[in-house]
């Protein structure tokens, strides 16, 4: 018989979420999940568009109970969502208001998240090999790669993550997060972690420093903040004073030692920084206050024999090739040397410069164009820069056309019209020349 793994393994009287100041127990959660699962239309997959972290969790679990894999779209831009939904046949759509008006396939999860009925049945068991979630890499264009997550991978990955995230914390823990639940990092630490540990997650939207402060105040237990360098930088600059936090988890881009120290002082906290990718989840960690060296989690085996580092683990179905260049030190410690020149990461999304450049070149009126990443300090989200030769068209029109077809984080800023690109005799472009041209005043009059 196929191996089964429970949907949840923890004391059912424990609190799993805080939503609108209400503490929701695991029992109530299970009742809501079962009720929603019964109400879902027959479909092969479920597009989970919930914004509220708790409702996302209810939708996530309900879809799994109906064997409908959660489709976690990389972008919530209305146009991108519409396009993705049109391409998906036979999908139920779970939302919490933002994407209302989707017709019969749409289920508003809000109505299911209010019940305080705690009369749940036995905890459901899920086949270990059931496909439960589909996440996507590369947000730069519509052609992103889909990554399938089976239940066993999610369950065992969570147990690996919990070991570090909750190390030394043996009391009920409140999780406040600034990352969306539909990206792999947010899914791991704010949706899956509470299913298997004494963790309650704050359901609200915590984007701005004021929200984070509010959420921390309403989470009156040992607190973990799941965040990114971008949000931590905003916290550090906000001028607000925050209550102490037990631990800050940080991922998506490298955190500088200076900012790590600043955040550590401000929140009186220790910081655990993770390195990972959508394909494998989190796979290495470091304490960014004291070191820039990473260490892989013990569960992963590392293959250094090829040009790119490959990793494997018993809970992963396939070997994962890492996009980053890695410099190995002694005892398995390593330094990240950044991604291959083509891959950029902005706002937690990976994009290919080559792919973006092809799209820009394909636009009407673009004679020549280049997209590159300017030199800059690490913490600020560095946008791409584009230089475009477009003698017949206004650069603003080109920018508008380009913005329509890609995720907004990848729209170059600045995007400038130039007379010609500084190509050398072999036709190549050097970053230094591009930067010089961007900084110079010899731009074509707009």
Partner 1 sequence: MAEMTDFELKLATLICEILNLEDVTPTDIDPEQPLFDGGLDLDSIDALEIAVAIAQEYDVHLKAEDEQTKEIFATLRNLANHIERERGTQTA
Q: How many residues bind partner 1 (CB under 8 A)?
A: 36
Interacting span for partner 1 (CB under 8 A) from 138-146, 252-260, 329-337, 409-417: 409-417
Bond from prior residue into 414 cis (ω within 30 degrees of 0): yes
Asked if 411 is part of the footprint of partner 1 (rule: CB under 8 A), the reply reads yes
d(CA 181, CA 54): 9
d(CA 260, CA 250): 10
**Diameter of the chain measured on Cα atoms:** 75
Q: Which of 209, 254, 281, 288 binds partner 1 (CB under 8 A)?
A: 209
Q: Alpha helix (H) ranges present in 181-327?
A: 184-186, 193-196, 209-217, 229-237, 257-266
d(CA 59, CA 266): 35
Q: How far is the CB of 382 from partner 1 (least distance, A)?
A: 10
Residue 74 near residue 349 (C-beta atoms within 8 A): yes
Q: How far is the CB of 337 from partner 1 (least distance, A)?
A: 25
d(CA 320, CA 311): 5
Asked if 359 is part of the footprint of partner 1 (rule: CB under 8 A), the reply reads no
DSSP E strands, 210-313: 222-227, 247-250, 270-277, 281-286, 294-296, 301-303, 310-312
Q: Using CB under 8 A, which residues numbered 176 to 205 contact partner 1?
A: 204-205
Asked if 239 is part of the footprint of partner 1 (rule: CB under 8 A), the reply reads yes
Query: Which of 301, 376 has the CB closer to partner 1?
Result: 376
d(CA 98, CA 12): 31
Asked if 350 is part of the footprint of partner 1 (rule: CB under 8 A), the reply reads no
Asked if 237 is part of the footprint of partner 1 (rule: CB under 8 A), the reply reads yes
Asked if 208 is part of the footprint of partner 1 (rule: CB under 8 A), the reply reads yes
Q: Using CB under 8 A, which residues numbered 72 to 131 contact partner 1?
A: 77-78
Q: Which of 142, 347, 365, 422 binds partner 1 (CB under 8 A)?
A: 347
Asked if 55 is part of the footprint of partner 1 (rule: CB under 8 A), the reply reads no
Asked if 381 is part of the footprint of partner 1 (rule: CB under 8 A), the reply reads yes
d(CA 48, CA 76): 11
Query: Which of 105, 403 has the CB closer to partner 1?
Result: 403
Asked if 254 is part of the footprint of partner 1 (rule: CB under 8 A), the reply reads no
Give the H/E segment covering residue 23. Answer: strand 22-25
Residues in contact with partner 1 by CB under 8 A are: 77-78, 204-211, 214-215, 230-231, 234, 237-240, 346-347, 381, 383, 395-396, 399-400, 403, 408-409, 411, 413-416, 446
């Amino acid at each position: 018989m196929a191996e089964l793994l429970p949907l949840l393994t923890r004391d059912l009287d424990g609190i799993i979420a805080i939503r609108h100041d209400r503490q929701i127990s695991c029992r109530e959660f299970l009742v809501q999940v079962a009720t929603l699962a019964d109400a879902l239309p027959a479909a092969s997959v479920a597009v989970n568009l919930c914004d509220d972290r708790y409702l996302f969790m209810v939708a996530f679990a309900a879809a799994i109970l109906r064997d409908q894999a959660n489709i976690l779209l990389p972008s919530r831009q209305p146009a991108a969502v519409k396009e993705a939904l049109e391409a998906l046949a036979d999908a139920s759509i779970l939302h919490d208001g933002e994407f209302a008006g989707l017709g019969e396939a749409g289920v508003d999860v809000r109505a299911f998240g209010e019940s305080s009925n705690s009369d749940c049945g036995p905890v459901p068991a899920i086949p270990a090999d059931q496909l439960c979630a589909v996440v996507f890499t590369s947000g730069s264009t519509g052609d992103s790669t889909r990554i399938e997550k089976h239940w066993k991978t999610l369950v065992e990955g969570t147990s690996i993550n919990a070991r570090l995230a909750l190390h030394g914390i043996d009391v009920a823990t409140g999780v406040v997060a600034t990352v969306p639940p539909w990206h792999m990092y947010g899914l791991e630490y704010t949706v899956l972690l509470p299913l298997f540990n004494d963790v309650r997650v704050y359901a609200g939207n915590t984007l701005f420093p004021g929200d984070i402060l509010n959420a921390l105040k309403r989470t009156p237990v040992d607190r973990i903040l799941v965040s990114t360098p971008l949000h931590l930088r905003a916290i550090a600059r906000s001028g607000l004073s925050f209550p102490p936090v037990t631990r800050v988890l940080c991922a998506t881009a490298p955190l500088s030692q200076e900012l790590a120290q600043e955040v550590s002082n401000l929140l009186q906290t220790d910081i655990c920084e993770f390195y990972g990718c959508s394909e494998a989840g989190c796979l290495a960690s470091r304490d960014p206050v004291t070191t820039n060296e990473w260490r892989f989690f013990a569960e992963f085996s590392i293959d250094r024999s090829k040009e790119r580092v490959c990793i494997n683990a018993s809970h992963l179905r396939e070997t994962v090739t890492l996009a980053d260049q890695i410099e190995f030190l002694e005892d398995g410690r390593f330094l990240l040397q950044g991604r291959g020149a083509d891959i950029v990461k902005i706002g937690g999304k990976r994009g290919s410069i080559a792919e973006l450049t092809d799209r820009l070149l394909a636009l009407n009126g673009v004679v020549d164009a280049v997209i590159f990443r300017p030199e800059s300090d690490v913490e600020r989200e560095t946008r791409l820069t584009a230089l475009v030769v477009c003698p017949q068209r206004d650069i603003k029109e080109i920018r508008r056309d380009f913005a329509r077809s890609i995720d907004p984080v990848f729209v170059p800023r600045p995007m400038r019209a130039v007379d010609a690109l500084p190509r050398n005799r072999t036709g190549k472009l050097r970053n230094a020349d591009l930067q010089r041209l961007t900084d110079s005043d010899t731009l074509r009059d707009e």
